Structure 1
């Protein structure tokens, strides 16, 4: 749950709030009692490492690719002639 803070607190307590955001907290900044912005940690879009458990879970999804169909799809999408 995001905590609401007034714009004044953001200005006056900037360093303290940045530490809290780094620790995972989210804040909704208000101006005259109306929400105007959200201050939250940046979420990494791409993992640089995948755990064994994650790999096992993903690979157990049972997705099968038909090699012949895959090649046909590629041939249809890309001109293979020189």
Structure 2
């Protein structure tokens, strides 16, 4: 559930609000008691254990290493000279 805060609270109490964002809280910003926006935390990257990742991709298609690198070489220039 989000907490409603006024524009003034956002300006004057930004430290508390930033700590709340770090803890996963969401805020609805109001001006003259009317909601005008939402402030919410970004999704953070999460560590995925190698065993879990391997299990997720176990049923995936096999990749031919040689063909993969050949496709990359065909698509991307390997020249050291700048294009121009």
Q: TM-score, normalised by structure 1?
A: 0.59
Q: CA RMSD in A?
A: 3.1
CA–CA distance in 2 between the matches of 1:2 and 1:54?
33
Segments of structure 1 that go 5 or more residues without pairing to the other structure are 78-82
CA–CA distance in 2 between the matches of 1:57 and 1:41?
30
Segments of structure 2 that go 5 or more residues without pairing to the other structure are 76-84
Residue equivalent to 2:49: 51
SS of 2:36's equivalent in the other structure is strand
Residue equivalent to 2:11: 11
Displacement after TM superposition at 1:23 (Å): 1.3
Q: TM-score, normalised by structure 2?
A: 0.58
Aligned residues: 80
Matches within 5 A, 1:12-51: 12-44=12-44, 49-51=47-49
